[in-house]
Structure 1
Amino acid sequence: MLIAHRIALDLNNVQAIYMARAAGTARFAYNWALTEWKSQYEAWKLDSSQPKPTQAALRRQLNSIKRERFPWMLEVTKNAPQMAIIQLGQAFQNFFAGRSKYPQLRKKGVHDRFTLTNDQFNIDGCRMRIPNLGWVRMRESLRFAGKIMSATVSRVAERWFVSITVDAEDDSHLPKAENQGAVGVDLGVSALATLSTGEIITGAKSHKALLTRLQRLSRSFSRKQKGSENRKKAKGKLAKLHARIAAIRSDALHQLTTNLTRRFHIIGIEDL
């Protein structure tokens, strides 16, 4: 069973710059491969003798030209561009299977992430070793036991996180139900959830509690001149607050789901 553990990273300035470069390299490789895929696919439709684009062929093509055209790619782990192109191939598989929309270009500040295969990093307690960088500190150690499959480093606001995927062989990490009872859950607006037992879960009101500050930072951001350093700083403060609101909401949902799975064996939810 594949399960992921998302851990915050404790980085210094040099390490944060490396992460930004690696994420930028992955984003560039993804967008470059998407552009090449479109042009090569159009050429293949006009002339079937032309090779049909694949992620493996695009990876070989990038490897053959990156030393001359994109030498800055060599400053970060080779996994950053290679895994980005593999992910593009998976995105096209999902598109042709009807499971997702056509892949779109990745944007800076929105898709700041890169992926490492399990042979390109090491975990030692609260430390993680990344190629061309060395050891970085994690806020906590990996909770799950099993074979480590991959790791994805991503940025939320100004914070960096690593999501480590583990192939866990047992389910000992799952909470055990205290009884074998059943419960129905009705999700609402005024209350987060209402249980069939009569219990009402109000949930966190993070947006309402921080609305005044959110409005102030939004006004401050809109008044800044586009392209200025002050606008960049204001954008960072606003993103940090949005991330805090999202984290409070996520924590409330995690507490609710954990509480339900520990107390009840069968959980019914209305299908809208």
Structure 2
Amino acid sequence: MLTGRRYLLAFTPEQEAFAELIADACRVVWNTGLEQRRAYRRRGAFIGYVEQARQMAEAKKAFGWLTQAPSHTLQQTLRDLDKACRTHGTWKVRWRSKRRSAPSFRFPDPRQIVVERLSRGWGRVKLPKLGWARFRWSRTLGGQVRNATVVKDGGRWYISLCVEDGLAEAAPNGRPAVGVDRGVKVAVATSHGKMRDRRFVTPGETLRLKRLAQRLARQKKGSRRRAATRAKIARLNARIRHRRTDFVLWTADRLTRDHGLVVVEDLEVKSMTAAVKGTVEAPATNVRAKAGLNRAILAKGWGGLLTGLQHKARYNGSRIVRVPAAYTSQRCSACGAVDAKSRESQAIFACTSCAYIGNADVNAARNILAAGLAVTGRGDLAVGRSAKRRPPEVQAA
């Protein structure tokens, strides 16, 4: 199976400057290619990767700075753009901002990538035009390299190596099923009553982020001091993000290792965390409350947990099933009655039809598990009509 290995790079100042140049070139190629595709669409025409790659080769003659970047990275940028436009549509693909987008580029040819281990804690990788670059050997490579992606995160450069580990997908482990409810107070609650959560940011870091944001608002745009403040904020946010990633992957590994079926809600996290939009005639209301809810959802890593479950399930022999989220928090797991009044608070569920009282998140997780067992019992592979459902009886004429 294909899997990823991420390592911290130790670029020299010259390599770091050249990596920034490559990332800028890839960003310009992406934005120019996207604008060209949209211009073609406006007049009812189409342009694909082959034609754009040919035009880029001609553009190198007029813009010499394009020749400084490795050709494969620029071609891979156009391939990624082509895939994004075919998957999401030309008008939904986003621009790459110099200020907001993380600098990154990919080397797709494994024949041009050489990885060597230098010592117990260090290794080095040879990349086209960048030469040999040292990195922290934090884990074994464990496979054959297929491609390499270089990205800047929180002021530091990383390399992600896609490797073929030679392992087959694990057989079903035959262990019991579990329902998982994702929340904003507690990150993960299971149908067995276990709660998994972690504080990703300390009170001191929260205060420091607030003070840095105030300092940033008073500084002049384009100044060196403002750039230094933005770098400090980026390092703090990267530290918080790494803790969240560690938590969701650790949780996903435990859930898929201990259970043969993991049932989660089919949530559209992107839509749920969208900003409130209003018009002049009908201004948006509860904007601050919705913004706080969006931050709480994103802070718990809902999307990252689902991605981690799908990745870890391949190695642990588990199966991931998504079920509709409707009424899972309002339905009683004991009697099945649905009543919004049963949810007394964020933590307490007291059924209005029976005497059941319990944790609201655990109750929701049990409803999620019941829905997942019903889906798998009918033979469904997704949310939809069952292939094994009994056909309707023919009425007599």
Place the TM-score, normalised by the shorter chain, in its bin: 0.7 to 0.9
User: Are 1:104 and 2:112 matched, yes or no?
Assistant: no
User: Are 1:245 and 2:235 matched, yes or no?
Assistant: no
What's 2:367 paired with? none
2:213 to 195, 211, 218: 218
What's 2:22 paired with? 22
**SS where residue 51 of structure 2 aligns?**
helix
Change (3 A) 1:70 1:259: same
C-alpha distance in 2 between matches for 1:152 and 1:140: 16
On the 8 A contact 1:207/1:245 being kept in 2, the answer is no
On the 8 A contact 2:38/2:91 being kept in 1, the answer is no
Change (3 A) 1:220 1:169: same
**SS where residue 185 of structure 1 aligns?**
strand
Residue type at the aligned position of 1:70: F
Residue type at the aligned position of 2:22: A
1:185-241 Cα deviation digits (max 9, x unpaired) = 222222222223322223224265521111111111111111111111111111111
What's 1:5 paired with? 5
1:59 to 53, 58, 63: 53
On the 8 A contact 1:7/1:163 being kept in 2, the answer is yes
Change (3 A) 1:82 1:142: farther
State the shift of 1:25 in Å.
0.8
Change (3 A) 1:44 1:233: same
- What does residue range 145-184 of structure 1 map to in structure 2 within 5 Å? 145-171=142-168, 180-184=175-179
The one of the two structures with greater contact order (alpha-carbon pairs below 8 A, sep at least 6) is 1
User: Are 1:71 and 2:64 matched, yes or no?
Assistant: yes
User: Are 1:128 and 2:125 matched, yes or no?
Assistant: yes
Residue type at the aligned position of 2:68: E
On the 8 A contact 1:25/1:80 being kept in 2, the answer is no
State the shift of 1:142 in Å.
6.2
On the 8 A contact 1:152/1:164 being kept in 2, the answer is yes
TM-score by length of 1: 0.85
1:109-159 Cα deviation digits (max 9, x unpaired) = 314111111233222232111111211112126645444222111111211
- Structure 1 stretch 149-158 or stretch 207-216: which is displaced more? 207-216
5+ long unaligned stretches in structure 1 = 46-51
- Structure 1 stretch 215-224 or stretch 69-78: which is displaced more? 69-78
C-alpha distance in 2 between matches for 1:106 and 1:237: 22
What's 1:48 paired with? none
5+ long unaligned stretches in structure 2 = 118-122, 267-324, 326-397
Residue type at the aligned position of 2:24: G
On the 8 A contact 1:183/1:267 being kept in 2, the answer is yes
Identity of aligned residues (%): 26
On the 8 A contact 1:31/1:105 being kept in 2, the answer is yes
Change (3 A) 1:43 1:270: closer
C-alpha distance in 2 between matches for 1:43 and 1:147: 45
C-alpha distance in 1 between matches for 2:259 and 2:168: 17
Residue type at the aligned position of 1:115: R
C-alpha distance in 2 between matches for 1:66 and 1:36: 17
Change (3 A) 1:195 1:44: closer
What's 2:193 paired with? 198
On the 8 A contact 2:70/2:129 being kept in 1, the answer is yes
1:7-53 Cα deviation digits (max 9, x unpaired) = 221222111111111111111111122223333444564xxxxxx41
Change (3 A) 1:119 1:70: farther
TM-score by length of 2: 0.60
Considering only CA atoms, is the larger Rg found in Structure 1 or Structure 2?
A: 2
C-alpha distance in 2 between matches for 1:167 and 1:268: 28
**SS where residue 106 of structure 1 aligns?**
coil
- Structure 1 stretch 74-83 or stretch 198-207: which is displaced more? 198-207
Count of aligned positions: 259
1:53-83 Cα deviation digits (max 9, x unpaired) = 111111111112313x221122231122111
